[in-house]
Amino acid sequence: MADFKLPELGENITQGTVTKILVKSGETVKKGQNVLELETDKAVLEVPCSIEGVVGEILVQNGAVVKVGQAIFTVNGSSPAAAPSAFAQQKASPAKPETKTPPPPQAAKSPSAAPVSGGVFEMTLPALGENIEKGTVTKIYVKAGDRLDKGKNILEVETDKAVLDVPSIIEGVVKEVLIQSGTVIKVGQPIFKIEGAVSAPAQAQGLPTGEQSPVSVPKQVSVPSSSGVEGNPPSSPSSAIPPVRKDVPAAPSVRLLARELGIDIGQVQGSGPGGRISAADVKAYCKMLNTSRPAGGGVGIAPQALPDLSKWGPVQRSAMSNVRKKTAEHLSMAWNTIPHVTQFDKVDITELEKLRKSISGTNKKISVTPFIIKVVAEALKKFPQFNSSVDMATREIVLKDYVNIGVAVDTDRGLLVPVLKNVDKMSILQISDELAAMAERARLRKTTIEEMQGGCFTISNLGGIGGTYFTPIINWPEVAILGVSRGAMEQVYVDGQFVPRLMLPLSLSYDHRIIDGADGARFIRWVVEAIQQPFLLELKP
């Protein structure tokens, strides 16, 4: 008989509160099986078992605070794990291989080394992009028995920013698919079991030279899987804030309060006996953080619970898509952080419309948007404060020497804003071609992470839907956005008489911390006057 003890949970995490026990006495457990759900100060984790056998006595109960190394339950007829626990594997650095139990020769090879033959190996979800840790599986392109080739797309994953095709970076035969459509998977989580796996060099995987492959080819199937771990990966040394103390004297209710306020309880100094932390200590620390926050940094507003809407009639609930959730979070942050001002104007596009129709053909229709993009690109050079970002942490203005413009695209999943790079160096026709291709990729869920990043200014054109004016929300970290509504024929007083002209409403929102009202008026007037002189625009390369 042996004890299953709580394994290491992550950097600077020494204990947690038991929220659910997933096994019962008399049940047979296997290595890698999730046996405990634990709430720490940082996340809710599912803890996998590192030994096999029959569960004997359960030594903890729901609501108990348990520490790393504490016995959780006894196991009869147990066999110890042949490798470190899943948590220990997750924490281990790629540069520091396990030395206590030397692995077999083939398992010691790097994922990007020479072919590995024999046995079955686990393929894990590779890195998806900067700051992207997880995504929802929308499609699985392979099945058990299929042959994998390097570069072949194996999954379609929807992240907070885009829908991505995930290519394989190893070769072999799929023995088992460990995931299914609709599930949320994390970077590093096993997704397939591969037979006869051969890893790809870093360069072939599209990774920077020297960067480790995210595919865990050397991991034998007999090693416990960490697929059930729901915790966040350890923070990097540069971003982690070490707690003042490891063993923090505080009641579970106080810890819960700290978590709800987004506070690391290890940073709070207790006023009770032996430094014990009370709820008042946590609130005082929170108040100190808020009052010392840099001006303009923004303060989060806790969401208010909805009333019971079903009292007045039937209701239906549906989960937000990843794109919708990210849009809600991003725009809420931008609205609460940036002091918005919106300037309105109208531009006479009668002559522009004649030019647009003259260069549009049967096979190629050019909209008014490429003309506006080209004008705005030139305006950003004329008014550099509109091509900047505000860094309130350092009280600095960051001016950009490049011109990338994002264009809002309406899709069935919500609003996406892919970015056209270096538009100041493109002609109207080039912009039109790239804009059409970019919008098509967005609607087909083929937009890449790179396409969604690096914008300097955003344009949102609702002219195809209708309306007059609206107040677009700035796409942080940009400082301005131009809204375009539907053009309409109006009587305009010109040279002593009223004449019909096609007028296009414009709405310019800008960040009042860096752009004054007079600057906003000058910018939009410059854009209006430039659009009214379309013969000056560069149409062809």
Q: Which of 494, 334, 359 is nearest to 417 (CA)?
A: 334
- Check 340, 410, 433, 512 and give the catalytic one: 512
Backbone angles phi, psi at 135, to 5 degrees: -165, 170
User: How is residue 452 written in tokens?
Assistant: 């969604």
Q: Is 496 exposed, middle or buried (0-12, 13-18, 19+ CB in 10 A)?
A: exposed
> What DSSP string describes 262-298?
T--GGGPPP-SGGG-B-HHHHHHHHHHHHHTSPTTS-
Angstrom CA distances, 47 to 174, 208, 248, stand at 27, 33, 22
Looking at the DSSP bridge assignments, the partners of residue 184 are 136
Three-state SS for 323-344 is: HHHHHHHHHHHHHHHCCEEEEE
User: How is residue 421 written in tokens?
Assistant: 């790079």
Interaxial angle between packed helices 279-291 and 252-260, expressed in degrees from 0 to 180 and rounded to the nearest 10 = 20
Mapping DSSP to helix (H, G, I), strand (E, B) and coil, where does residue 257 land?
A: helix
> Is 286 a catalytic site residue?
no
What are the residues whose beta carbons fall under 8 Å from the beta carbon of 483, sequence distance 6 or more? 460, 461, 462, 469, 470, 471, 472, 506, 507, 508, 509
> What DSSP string describes 86-101?
HHHHHHS-TTS---SS
> Is 512 a catalytic site residue?
yes
Element housing 199 (H / E): strand 190-199
- Check 41, 49, 456, 511 and give the catalytic one: 456
Contact 42, 231 (CB under 8 A): yes
Measured between alpha carbons, how far is 164 from 316 in angstroms, rounded to an integer? 30
Measured between alpha carbons, how far is 53 from 51 in angstroms, rounded to an integer? 7
* Residues with catalytic roles: 456, 512, 516
